[in-house]
Amino acid sequence: MKHPEHHLFSMTPEELGQWCEARGMKRFRAKQILEWIYQHGSADPREWSNLSARDRECIASEMTILSGRTITHQLATDGTQKLLIQWEDEPSRPDDSMKLSVLQDDPSRQTECVMIPSLGSDTSRKTACISSQVGCPVGCRFCASGLSGLDGNLSTGRIVEQAWRLGRLEGVGRISNVVFMGMGEPLSNFRPVVNAVRRLAAPTPEGMGISARKITISTVGLPQAIRKLSEELDLPVTLALSLHAPSDDIRRELIPWAEYTTIAELLSACQAWFEKTGREITLEYTLLGQLNDQSDHARELARLAKTLRANINLIRYNEVEGLPYKRPRDSDVTRFQTILRENGTNCHIRASRGRDIAAACGQLRHEHRADSA
């Protein structure tokens, strides 16, 4: 009987070797299995021709390889692709009377993930935007992901599985970058996210072989978790802080969790991150029309940014049906960036990708759409 902990995408080579030995297989079978998954892209044990029929049957019956199914697959006009995944209802104990099943179109077990191809000359850049939770506990007022609250954490295997699935889409090939900017607050699902980063960054065939420098963890800001991450994750990932406001008053209007911490405390934790890792912080700032996109906001943001080694990503608000916020005017965005640069900050405007399929920043949500592919 399959057990939820036996998810292939969560296992290290050592753990998989032990799993194989416990079932009467040779330990080197672990390497062969990982090669089929990460090098050949095959998740079907029936195709694993260098394993015996007995071993293939054992793997198929006792190990979880793909733990969900794609409900919808959407393609945007700019080449962005989005998957809505329904996760299986796995039993919490190994009881033969419990059957592995899929809850039909249940939003409480669905997440979205996105593959974003480069629009520039570097066609090898393929970014997987993945989720860490089903829903989100933070509830940012302008974001679709937290409208229904949090339904649960994703396991390490399910986090890695999203990136693997996106890499298997037609025409995609190798995923080069990963951003934890989908549904959920990554640092509130700390251990599975950290373990997932290690599997994503592990060299092929032990993992997906994605450079840690091309993996970004985005957080709304949990000071203690940021400090813990700098101590535990010995990989040169990028940390992105979702700031979204230049003052505590405005931030508390937009982000409920901002009631529990201040911008000063967040920047102090980010400074500790830099001192420990030597990695520059990215400050993410969503521009909401006439709310946080004025000249005085830009000057205050520049003052904050200069207190630590940071660059700023400006994100135009992407509309969410039913929410009152407005996308900023292009002239206001340009003026905002100009002020930041005049005040000595490194600042870029992030392109909004996949807006026509609600795949852009802040638009991901767990619901079954009628326009399924």
Give the DSSP letter string of 229-242: HHHH--S-PEEEEE
Are 11 and 148 in a shared domain?
A: no
Strands (E), 162-228: 177-180, 215-219
Quote the pLDDT of residue 357.
Answer: 80
Residues 342 and 262 in one domain: yes
Pairing mode, if any, of strands 310-316 and 150-153? unpaired
Would you say residue 352 lies in a domain? yes
In a domain, 364, yes or no: no
- Tokens (6 digits) for 113: 């993930």
| Number of structural domains found in the chain | 2
Residues 54 and 132 in one domain: no
| pLDDT grade for 288, boundaries at 50, 70 and 90 | very high
Integer-rounded Cα Rg, in Å, for the chain is 21
pLDDT for position 371: 41
Say if residue 61 is in the same domain as residue 129. no
Q: Which two tokens stand for residue 329?
A: 């005017």
User: Of the residues 65, 83, 107, which one is the last residue of a structural domain?
Assistant: 65
pLDDT of 106 above 70: no
Is there a single domain that holds both residue 59 and residue 129? no
pLDDT at 108: 72
Residue 365 inside a domain? The answer is: no
Lowest mean pLDDT among 51-60, 72-81, 224-233, 351-360: 351-360
Range of the domain at 27: 1-65
Q: Between 175 and 358, where is the model more confident?
A: 175
Q: Is the pLDDT of residue 282 over 50?
A: yes
Q: In this structure, is residue 73 part of a structural domain?
A: no
DSSP letter for 151, please. Answer: E
pLDDT at 2: 58
Across 69-97, average pLDDT: 76
Average pLDDT of every residue of the chain: 90
105 located within any domain: no
Predicted pLDDT at 4: 54
The verdict on 53 and 153 lying in the same domain is no
**Same domain (yes/no): 232, 315:** yes
**Residue 190: inside a domain:** yes
Asked, for residue 230, whether it belongs to a domain, the answer is yes
Q: 65, 96, 114 — which closes off a domain?
A: 65
Residues 240, 344 within the same domain: yes
| Cα dist from 300 to 60, 227, 256, 307, whole Å | 57, 25, 21, 12
Task: Give the active site residues.
Answer: 112, 361
For residues 60 and 129, membership in a common domain is answered with: no
The predicted pLDDT at position 12 comes to 96
Q: Is the pLDDT of residue 346 over 80?
A: yes
How large a percentage of the chain has pLDDT more than 70? 91
pLDDT beyond 60 at 97: no
Question: Are 102 and 86 in contact, with CB atoms under 8 Å apart?
Answer: yes
351 in any annotated domain: yes
Residue 327 scores a pLDDT above 50: yes
- Tens of pLDDT, residue by residue over 307-320, are 999 999 999 998 88
Say whether both 30 and 139 belong to one domain: no
pLDDT classification of 181: cutoffs 50, 70, 90: very high
| Whether 333 and 188 share a structural domain | yes
Does residue 90 have a pLDDT over 60?
A: no
* pLDDT-above-90 percentage for the chain: 80
**Quick check: 95 pLDDT over 90?**
no
- Residue 233 and residue 156 share a domain: yes
